[in-house]
Structure 1
Amino acid sequence: MGKIIKGKIVADALNEKLISEVEILKKKGIIPKLLIMRVGSNGSDLAYEKGALKKCKKIGILSEVREFPETIPQDEFISEIKKANEDKAINGILIFRPFPKQLNENLIKYEIAPDKDVDCFSPVNVAKIMEKDPTGFSPCTPSAVIEILKYYNVPMKGRRAVVIGRSMVVGKPVAMLLLNENATVTICHSKTEDMPSVCSQADILVVGIGRAKAVNSQYIKEGAAVIDVGINTDENGNLCGDVDTEDCIEKSSMITPVPGGVGSVTTSILAKHVIKACRQQNGGDSIYE
């Protein structure tokens, strides 16, 4: 029987390192700052925002929220992004999506400064993931997946990894991050034939398709590490993932729970990216010398 691997212990270990980094920066007279830009008041955005603000405070990062009306015109919103780009006190910018219909994401994503884009909204940072450019910023949730695998000493080099889902939010970027760790990666999606057979060959299975308990033990290789990125509600209204944990835990070596798994690490990754952005904007690693 596999074990449940919780995210909190991973986040706590990462937080300790980040607190130390911020202390060093503060001694140099530098305090990292995150700006959150939110259009409207979507419930899931507010929940994530609350967690992000709490995490920033704990680590010592300054944070600010700029809320805009849901009816804000596109040119006005772009103007606000440009102001944030030019504000030297702001190191990282997080823009919540999706947008209301009058805001065109395919245009707006080119406006955020790539060096402040801490959740990989800009196509420049998407390209940097592809090129394995260490100056870029990958999306926080896929980065949390890799952080968990590393913390629990799950070998990635040479191992077969299967990702279910091909979104730009999770599927594609996590596949590239696994490839950058020298895993052999397969992406499954709605048109994949005999998906359980493909997935059952995976040493590492990452699931992010947005369907409650869609993955059962038929998808699991004996001894596989299973990372569940989904957040859904079951028939009783309880939070659950894309993986049927009870059915899969017997075959897996380890599996992340929902809630309490990947999501627990995501805000720590956001904080890590803000500190990285701050460092890069202030002379790189030489700042610690």
Structure 2
Amino acid sequence: MATILNGKELAATLRAEQTEEIRKLAPLAGRPPGLGVILVGDDPASHAYVKNKRNACKEAGIHAPEINLPHDTTRETVMEWVDKLNADPRIDGILVQLPLPPHIPKDDILLRIDPEKDVDGFHPINVGRLVIGEDTLVPCTPTGVMTLLSRYGIPVKGKKAVVLGRSLIVGKPMALLLLAADATVTICHSKTANLSEETRQADILVAALGKPLMITKDFVKKGAVVIDVGISRNDKGKLVGDVDFDSVEPIASAITPVPGGVGPMTIATLLENTLKAYKKRNHLS
């Protein structure tokens, strides 16, 4: 039976560590860390995500003001709010919740964020730093995956890793982080020929395609570590991932559940990135 990589439990442990670190650092900085959140529109999933992030920030002692804007907010108004947060000395990280309404160009908004406050790690400057191997703010989901592997003592060095998906949010940074940890990395995507042949080579398989239950046991080598980043709802409203857990779990050596695997680690890493930016801006170790 596979080891269940319980992201929910690990995220709780990380939050406890973050809370203690903030308790010690806040008197030195004269304030707690600050995370400014901009939410545009009424997307239920976005509001749910922001609520979870708000609760996690409150638990850890992070100041997290929210700017809630209506769906018909203009691009210029969102830019103005980003500028205010960039200039606010109490704010160390800025999160613009995606997706934005179609009339607001996402790239324009993300480019406006100060790279030193870009706790999502999406700014081209931070992407470039990641590519060349500089220490920087890295997207939360792939960083959370690396933390999960590390805390569970799963070796990466010298392993064959296959990443399914090539998005800027997960797939590409995931591959770069695995490469930096000395794995041999293959990126697969919707146009990859003979996909199952590629995935069956993986010691570590990261599924981030957004295709529910696509990865069955036929795609997985016996003893592989399987990380399921996908999350969606099936016809019955149940949350499922990209991996068919029931068929894969008996042959994997370790696997993340959905829910309760990678998702909580993403929020824990958002807090960690905020704390990292806070320490850098306040010259704290």
- TM-score of the superposed pair, with normalisation by structure 2: 0.97
1:284 is displaced (CA, Å) by 4.2
> Any residues of structure 2 matched to 1:35-184 within 5 Å, and which?
35-134=36-135, 136-184=136-184
Indicate if the aligned counterparts of 1:210 and 1:230 stay in contact, CA closer than 8 A: yes
- After superposition, the C-alpha distances for 1:14-46 in whole angstroms (9 at most, x for unaligned) are 122211210121221231011110111211111
Name the SS for the 2:65 alignment partner.
Answer: strand
Q: Secondary structure at the match of 1:36?
A: strand
1: CA distance, partners of 2:284 / 2:161 = 33
Any idea what the Cα deviations from partners look like across 1:92-147, whole Å, max 9, x if unmatched?
Answer: 1100112212211222221100001101121111112112221x211111111111
Partner of 1:199: 199
Match of 1:6 in 2: 6
1:173 is paired with a residue whose SS is helix
- Structure 2: which amino acid aligns with 1:175? A
Deviation at 1:208, TM superposition (A): 0.7
Name the SS for the 1:270 alignment partner: helix
Which residue identity is paired with 1:190? S
Aligned-partner residue type, residue 147 of structure 1: T
The AA in structure 2 aligned to 1:225 is: V
Q: Identify unmatched segments of 5+ residues in structure 2.
A: none
Q: Which amino acid aligns with 1:224?
A: A
Paired positions, count: 284
2:243 is matched with 243
SS at match of 1:48: helix
1:19 aligns to 2:14 (yes or no): no
Percent identity for Structure 1 against Structure 2? 39
Residues 119 and 137 of structure 1 are in contact (CA less than 8 Å); yes or no, is this contact kept in structure 2? yes
Equivalent residue letter for 2:129: K
What is the DSSP-based 3-state SS (H/G/I as helix, E as strand, rest coil) of the residue aligned with 1:13? helix
- Superposed CA offset, 1:50-90 (max 9, x none): 11111111111111110112111212211211111001111
The separation in 1 between residues aligned to 2:84 and 2:31, in whole angstroms, is 20
The 10-residue stretch of structure 1 (212-221 or 9-18) with the greater mean CA deviation from structure 2: 9-18
Whether the 8 Å CA contact 2:35–2:274 is kept in 1: the answer is yes
Contact persistence 1:10–1:147 (CA under 8 A):
no
Instruction: State the secondary structure of the residue aligned to 1:63.
Output: coil
